[in-house]
């Protein structure tokens, strides 16, 4: 079940913003544990090297490249390097993204453009340059990583550009899925909820002015019907299912990994 033997996976944002397991690092390692050859991309050398170190420690097959996925040139070069290294491409995970808080009045035009580049254009670029190689296989799969911020608007915390770009990503995934289905390429979206990944300690605690991480996590957990935030491994397992042959009839859809958060707000 869920074995990826013989497949090559390209994962973006394969490091983590701080020590521990972000969504991209957990996904890279899990796909490799399931016997995929993983080509890992990150713009941060230290973060990328840590993921590769873990992979090598477990004798997993993984190579990496420093790459800023907001650059078409760099993505194109990364896809080429992946093909030169592993000779094929079956799986693409577009995992890079992040939020800048603020509503339309607070966000400058430059902030807006940066958010669109970071969360949406990066996904378009990954799909654009990987597609010719994905189409060469009889069955291949893309997973794009959105956010519950696309579906759930909070009066207390607005991030208009993040919400808009992550909602746009869902439409982009569906469009890609429908256009390329007959070519054997499936495309789906994973929608993480409030996760406990290193971003909580690294970015959210200072950004939200929280007393400490434990207090912030407790507050976030209180909104989640399952009672606790998920982590990077929960995202990785959802991604693994969607790229596996067991999900062969699943395309153009979204998998919410949010402990029931979205349903509870309805």
Ligand X SMILES: NC(=O)c1ccc[n+]([C@@H]2O[C@H](COP(=O)([O-])OP(=O)(O)OC[C@H]3O[C@@H](n4cnc5c(N)ncnc54)[C@H](O)[C@@H]3O)[C@@H](O)[C@H]2O)c1
8 Å CB contact between 39 and 9:
yes
User: Of the candidates 158, 197, 244, 251, which one interacts with ligand X according to CB under 6 A?
Assistant: 197
The yes or no reply on residue 126 touching ligand X (CB under 6 A) is no
- Shortest separation between residue 193's beta carbon and ligand X, angstroms: 7
41 secondary structure, DSSP code: E
The yes or no reply on residue 199 touching ligand X (CB under 6 A) is yes
Q: Is 129 a catalytic residue?
A: no
- Shortest separation between residue 103's beta carbon and ligand X, angstroms: 18
User: Of the candidates 42, 90, 201, 234, which one interacts with ligand X according to CB under 6 A?
Assistant: 42
From the list 124, 129, 162, 167, the catalytic residue is 162
Which residue stretch of 21-29, 78-86, 205-213, 245-253 sits at the interface with ligand X (rule: CB under 6 A)? Answer: 21-29
| Euclidean distance between the first and the last CA atom of the chain, given in angstroms as a whole number | 35
Sheet holding 254-257, edge to edge: 62-66, 37-42, 8-12, 91-94, 140-145, 185-192, 254-257
The tokens describing 5, both together, are: 């033997």
- Give 71: exposed, middle or buried? Use CB within 10 Å, 0-12, 13-18, 19+: middle
The yes or no reply on residue 69 touching ligand X (CB under 6 A) is yes
Provide the binding-site residues for ligand X, judged by CB under 6 A.
Answer: 12-13, 15-17, 22-24, 41-44, 47, 67-70, 95-98, 145, 147, 192, 195, 197-199, 232
């Amino acid at each position: 079940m869920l074995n990826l033997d013989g497949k090559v996976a390209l994962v973006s944002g394969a490091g983590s913003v701080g020590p521990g397991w972000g969504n991209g690092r957990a996904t890279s390692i899990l796909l490799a544990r399931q016997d995929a050859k993983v080509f890992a991309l990150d713009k941060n050398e230290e973060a990328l090297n840590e993921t590769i170190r873990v992979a090598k420690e477990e004798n997993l097959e993984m190579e990496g490249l420093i790459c800023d996925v907001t650059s078409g040139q760099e993505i194109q070069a990364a896809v080429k390097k992946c093909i030169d290294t592993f000779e094929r491409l079956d799986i693409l995970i577009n995992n890079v993204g992040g939020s800048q808080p603020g509503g339309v009045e607070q966000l400058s035009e430059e902030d807006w453009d940066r958010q669109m580049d970071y969360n949406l254009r990066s996904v378009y670029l990954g799909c654009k340059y990987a597609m010719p190689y994905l189409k060469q296989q009889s069955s291949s799969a893309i997973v794009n990583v959105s956010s519950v911020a696309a579906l759930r608007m909070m009066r207390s915390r607005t991030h208009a550009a993040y919400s808009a770009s992550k909602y746009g990503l869902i439409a982009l995934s569906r469009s890609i899925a429908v256009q390329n289905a007959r070519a054997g390429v499936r495309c789906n979206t994973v929608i993480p909820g409030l996760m406990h990944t290193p971003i909580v300690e690294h970015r959210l605690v200072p950004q939200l002015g929280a007393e400490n991480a434990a207090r912030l996590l407790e507050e976030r957990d209180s909104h989640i019907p399952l009672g606790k935030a998920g982590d990077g491994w929960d995202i990785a397992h959802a991604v693994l299912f969607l790229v596996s042959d067991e999900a062969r009839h699943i395309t153009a859809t979204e998998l919410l990994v949010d402990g029931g958060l979205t349903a509870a707000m309805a």
